[in-house]
């Protein structure tokens, strides 16, 4: 159990228990801070925890683990550091410290009703959101977000349907299509408006090998019911339409940072295409314009799980340091995080992200 302040406030509250949040919470707890890690779901681990396949990314970080196994390891470290995990708790508001309280107030809803905790510092690690679809029939039963499909297949062990249309060919869409096929569903096609497959060829090739059509420059015109999905009408750029007989449409659109809570807490947000959309303005230490409020993971820019971990490490170190706690390995951990982030952000896209990050830092200094 984490130590609490006499006033009843935690030192650090971390919202969201994906890899970014767990890492931030662990590092802050190892530094000696009393930490609460708050998660809306009934299990910790975020999106990485829904991955039953071997994680893609640096072997030096993932060591050949599946997402589920890797997240168990992260959580063991968090437990060992003495943090407290609150599950089934959806944070709906983060109020910055008032003069009287001197602490942030986090309101959350839990099965037993609304509740609140106080914390001297907050790390937001709320991850990303999948924008809702806007084609006719998007509200029919059987039209599902990829997050829900992945949970059904990989956590609950049930299929959302038998014949699936995957909308979106990024790595997430391709990997979830593979999960669906492994679980016994037929993936009728993967469609994407983009002119080429968005994800890596290594994720597309196994689907093609199993006969899945990957239709690029193609969009969904409508999904037909009556009450649940019976078919989907897709069209290519020339307007050529096709009806696909499916009972499930899985949506895997490009994800955007889930910046609503940060915005509502008073963090100015700036939209950056290469980071997925509206990102809370933050600096190198992951601090925002609100003193004591830090961000990390996909919220600070949609990249990947390895980046989320390292930005979480920086956010946790900064939050602890800001309260006067010193991690015994702070310097080495910060060097490790920065070196890994540099390595992860190489290549044309990586460089654009690195540049976007320093521009956000410059914006922060102007606020």
Ligand X SMILES: Cc1cc2nc3c(=O)[nH]c(=O)nc-3n(C[C@H](O)[C@H](O)[C@H](O)COP(=O)(O)OP(=O)(O)OC[C@H]3O[C@@H](n4cnc5c(N)ncnc54)[C@H](O)[C@@H]3O)c2cc1C
Q: Which of 149, 151, 176 has the alpha carbon at shortest distance from 161?
A: 149
CA dist 286 and 347 (Å) reads 23
Is the distance from CB of 250 to CB of 180 less than 8 angstroms?
A: yes
SS3 106: strand
Is the distance from CB of 251 to CB of 143 less than 8 angstroms?
A: yes
Find where tokens 């829900």 sit: 148
Q: Which is nearer to ligand X, 20 or 142 (CB)?
A: 20
Site string for ligand X, 259-278 (x = CB under 6 A): --x-----------------
Shortest CB 99 distance to ligand X, Å: 26
10 Å CB burial of residue 94 (0-12, 13-18, 19+) is buried
Q: Is 257 among the residues that bind ligand X (CB under 6 A)?
A: no
CA dist 215 and 191 (Å) reads 5
DSSP label at residue 362:
H
Six-digit token pair at 198? 């968005």
- Stretch binding ligand X (CB under 6 A), from 3-11, 45-53, 156-164, 202-210: 45-53
CA dist 90 and 207 (Å) reads 36
Q: Is 18 among the residues that bind ligand X (CB under 6 A)?
A: yes
For ligand X, the binding residue among 88, 90, 107, 230 (CB under 6 A) is 90
For ligand X, the binding residue among 11, 192, 247, 298 (CB under 6 A) is 298
Give helix then strand counts, H and E, for the chain: 10, 19
Q: Which is nearer to ligand X, 30 or 126 (CB)?
A: 126
- Stretch binding ligand X (CB under 6 A), from 205-213, 272-280, 297-305, 322-330: 297-305
Sign for the pseudo-dihedral over CA of 66, 71, 76, 78: positive
What residues numbered 155-184 form the site for ligand X, per CB under 6 A? 172, 175-176
Site string for ligand X, 304-343 (x = CB under 6 A): xxx-x-----------------------------------
What residues numbered 217-256 form the site for ligand X, per CB under 6 A? none
Shortest CB 323 distance to ligand X, Å: 22
What residue ranges bind ligand X (CB under 6 A)?
15-21, 38-41, 46-48, 51, 55-57, 90-91, 125-128, 150, 172, 175-176, 258, 261, 297-299, 304-306, 308
């Amino acid at each position: 159990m984490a130590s609490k302040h006499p006033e009843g406030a935690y030192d650090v509250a971390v919202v969201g228990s994906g890899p970014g949040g767990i890492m931030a919470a662990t590092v802050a707890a190892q530094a000696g801070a009393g930490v609460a890690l708050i998660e809306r779901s009934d299990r910790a681990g975020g999106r990485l925890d829904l991955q039953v396949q071997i994680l893609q990314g640096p072997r030096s970080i993932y060591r050949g683990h599946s997402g589920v196994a890797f997240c168990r390891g992260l959580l063991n470290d968090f437990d060992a550091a003495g943090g407290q995990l609150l599950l089934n708790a959806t944070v709906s508001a983060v109020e910055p410290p008032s003069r009287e309280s001197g602490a942030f107030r986090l309101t959350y809803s839990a099965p037993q009703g609304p509740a609140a905790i106080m914390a001297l510092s907050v790390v937001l690690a709320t991850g990303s959101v999948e924008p809702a679809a806007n084609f006719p029939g998007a509200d029919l039963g059987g039209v599902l977000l990829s997050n829900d499909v992945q949970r059904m297949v990989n956590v609950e062990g049930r299929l959302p349907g038998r014949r699936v249309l995957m909308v979106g060919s990024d790595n997430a869409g391709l990997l979830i299509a593979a999960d669906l096929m492994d679980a016994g569903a037929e993936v009728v096609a993967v469609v994407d408006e983009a002119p080429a497959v968005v994800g890596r060829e290594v994720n597309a090739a196994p689907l093609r090998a199993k006969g899945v059509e990957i239709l690029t420059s193609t969009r969904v015109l409508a999904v037909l019911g009556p009450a649940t999905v019976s078919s989907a009408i897709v069209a290519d750029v020339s307007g050529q339409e096709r009806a696909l007989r499916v009972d499930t449409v899985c949506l895997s659109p490009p994800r955007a940072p889930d910046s609503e809570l940060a915005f509502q807490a008073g963090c100015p947000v700036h939209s950056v295409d290469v980071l997925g959309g509206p990102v809370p303005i933050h600096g190198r230490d992951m601090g925002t314009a609100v003193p004591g409020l830090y961000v990390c993971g996909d919220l600070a820019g949609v990249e990947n799980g390895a980046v989320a971990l390292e930005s979480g490490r920086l956010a946790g170190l900064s939050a602890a340091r800001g309260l006067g706690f010193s991690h015994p390995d702070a310097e080495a951990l910060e060097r490790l995080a920065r070196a890994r982030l540099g390595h992860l952000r190489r290549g044309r896209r990586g460089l654009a992200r690195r540049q976007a990050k320093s521009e956000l830092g410059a914006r922060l200094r102007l606020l």
